[in-house]
Amino acid sequence: MAKKSRKELIINEAAIIFKQKGYSATSMRELAEKVGIEAASLYNHIRSKDEILEEICFSVAHEYLSFITEIEERECSYTDKLKGLIELHIKLIIEKPNEVSVANNDWKNLSDPKKKLYKEVRKGYENRIANILTKGMQTGEFKQLHVSVALFTLLSSLRWIELWYRPGRDVTADELKHDLTTFLVHGLKN
Amino acid sequence: MAKKSRKELIINEAAIIFKQKGYSATSMRELAEKVGIEAASLYNHIRSKDEILEEICFSVAHEYLSFITEIEERECSYTDKLKGLIELHIKLIIEKPNEVSVANNDWKNLSDPKKKLYKEVRKGYENRIANILTKGMQTGEFKQLHVSVALFTLLSSLRWIELWYRPGRDVTADELKHDLTTFLVHGLKN
């Protein structure tokens, strides 16, 4: 249990330092310093920098997959599914800004076959959102738009939050959630 | 005149190869090969890789600034200004995909003071769009949203086009323009 907590601590610190310096520019030695242990001890908890990146990317991917499963199972309109999805994205970015940033930007540094897997997982996630949009269009709840255009407009609008939003900006999390939801839902609703 | 054309050709080829390989990973030797001249001759036309990047970034910036000036001067509703802006962004991405991509992604490799200048130019561009959004909200044409949220949602939605759109995808340029405009304008309109 203590060992697991230490591993978690290492991963949390790694996410911070990867975000600040970039994954490639960060050495295991620097990470050890940040955590406050000897570089050699680091390897008692984690095998490699690669493994840390995998842990971060796949834990974030896991969060997104939980979201979409929860959203799919909700018995509600497609509009409310869309609202729920936007809310969950914002919540995750606020709760785990470093992890989300590293997963979004540094997944390219994963090694195969993990990189390939990560891309497949992401593609699967996008397809499930596309499916919600398609169904919403079929029922007439959403406008008839090219699904890919709707999907990528939605995803890029969610993506910028991680790049731009900081607690302490002049936008509160609630304002952000409200205004972004208003913009995107009205954009899609029929 | 012939010299200028050769310089333009070099810059066009550079944009293609920078986009494919990344700015940092591209050598002047590779560029010379691509253009079909000796590396030494390259320097008759262009001083450095840095200068090429500057030319690309600032020519794209210049296009955006022409857009916004044109849009500001149009005597039309804020909704129509917004539509015009979306249209011009899509047009530029389709006409100069490599240059836009390099400017968007590789401006970070500019050296100061050019890098600082580029950031200021970009900030100025964003402020002028924010101004259109603010005025549209004041007249009641647009919803009352936090201007930064509206601005960055709009910009990120335009940004993904360069990352995703290729002629030959199953979306035509006209569909893209129509659907993206529909999404964004309805999202903002009151």
All residues of chain B having their beta carbon less than 8 Å from the beta carbon of residue A86 are none
Contact between chains at A149 and B187 (C-beta distance less than 8 A): no
Q: How far is CA A11 from CA A20, A35, A38, A111, in A?
A: 14, 10, 16, 18
pLDDT(B97) > 70: yes
Q: What is the CATH number of the domain that holds B63?
A: 1.10.357.10
Q: What is the CATH number of the domain that holds A38?
A: 1.10.10.60
Contact between chains at B183 and A150 (C-beta distance less than 8 A): yes
pLDDT(B163) > 90: no
How does pLDDT run across A82-118, given as a tens digit for each residue? 999 999 999 999 899 999 999 999 999 999 999 999 9
- Name the pLDDT band for A163 (thresholds 50, 70, 90): confident
Which of A122, A160, A170, A184 should we substitute to test contact with B (largest number of B Cβ atoms within 10 Å)? A160
Over residues B115-128, the mean pLDDT reads 96
Q: What is the pLDDT of residue A113?
A: 95
Assess whether A138 and A82 both reside in one domain. yes
Which of B108, B151, B153, B172 should we substitute to test contact with A (largest number of A Cβ atoms within 10 Å)? B153
Assess whether B93 and B13 both reside in one domain. no
Q: At what angle do helices A78-95 and A49-73 cross, to 10 degrees?
A: 150
Q: How far is CA A34 from CA A43, A44, A97, B30, in A?
A: 15, 16, 18, 40
Assess whether B38 and B101 both reside in one domain. no
pLDDT(B4) > 70: no
Assess whether B173 and B98 both reside in one domain. yes
Assess whether B100 and B175 both reside in one domain. yes
The chain B residues in contact with chain A (CB within 8 A) are: 143, 145-146, 148-150, 152-153, 155-157, 159-160, 164, 169-171, 175-176, 179-180, 182-184, 186-189
Q: What is the pLDDT of residue B3?
A: 55
All residues of chain A having their beta carbon less than 8 Å from the beta carbon of residue B156 are 156-157, 159-160
Say how far apart CA A173 and CA B150 lie, in whole Å. Answer: 15
Over residues A141-157, the mean pLDDT reads 95
Assess whether B157 and B107 both reside in one domain. yes
Residue B136 burial (10 A CB sphere; 0-12, 13-18, 19+): buried
Over residues A136-145, the mean pLDDT reads 97
- Name the pLDDT band for A125 (thresholds 50, 70, 90): very high
Assess whether B19 and B78 both reside in one domain. no
Q: Which domain holds residue B151?
A: 49-188
Over residues B134-152, the mean pLDDT reads 96
Q: What is the pLDDT of residue B162?
A: 86
Residue B136's nearest CA partner among B122, B121, B162, B154 is B154
Q: What is the pLDDT of residue A139?
A: 96
All residues of chain B having their beta carbon less than 8 Å from the beta carbon of residue A164 are 148, 152
Distance from CA of B67 to the nearest CA of A (A): 22
pLDDT(A166) > 80: no
pLDDT(A2) > 60: no
The number of domains in chain A is 2
Say how far apart CA A48 and CA A43 lie, in whole Å. Answer: 7
Over residues A149-153, the mean pLDDT reads 95
Q: What is the pLDDT of residue B167?
A: 72
Contact between chains at B149 and A184 (C-beta distance less than 8 A): no
Over residues B31-43, the mean pLDDT reads 89
Q: What is the pLDDT of residue A165?
A: 82
All residues of chain A having their beta carbon less than 8 Å from the beta carbon of residue B159 are 156, 160
The percentage of residues in chain A with a pLDDT greater than 90, rounded to a whole number, is 77
Assess whether A42 and A58 both reside in one domain. no
pLDDT(A3) > 60: no
Assess whether A117 and A184 both reside in one domain. yes
Assess whether B166 and B94 both reside in one domain. yes
Nearest residue on chain B to A164, alpha-carbon basis? B152
Q: What is the pLDDT of residue A169?
A: 78
Assess whether B95 and B19 both reside in one domain. no
Q: What is the pLDDT of residue A64?
A: 94
Say how far apart CA A87 and CA A177 lie, in whole Å. Answer: 6
Q: In this complex, which of B153, B171, B180 lies closest to A180 when CB atoms are compared?
A: B153
Q: In this complex, which of B159, B176, B187 lies closest to A186 when CB atoms are compared?
A: B187
Contact between chains at B157 and A159 (C-beta distance less than 8 A): no
Over residues B164-176, the mean pLDDT reads 84
**Other beta carbons less than 10 A from residue A110's beta carbon:** 21
Say how far apart CA B144 and CA B138 lie, in whole Å. Answer: 8
Assess whether A137 and A58 both reside in one domain. yes
SS3 B157: helix
Q: What is the pLDDT of residue A114?
A: 96
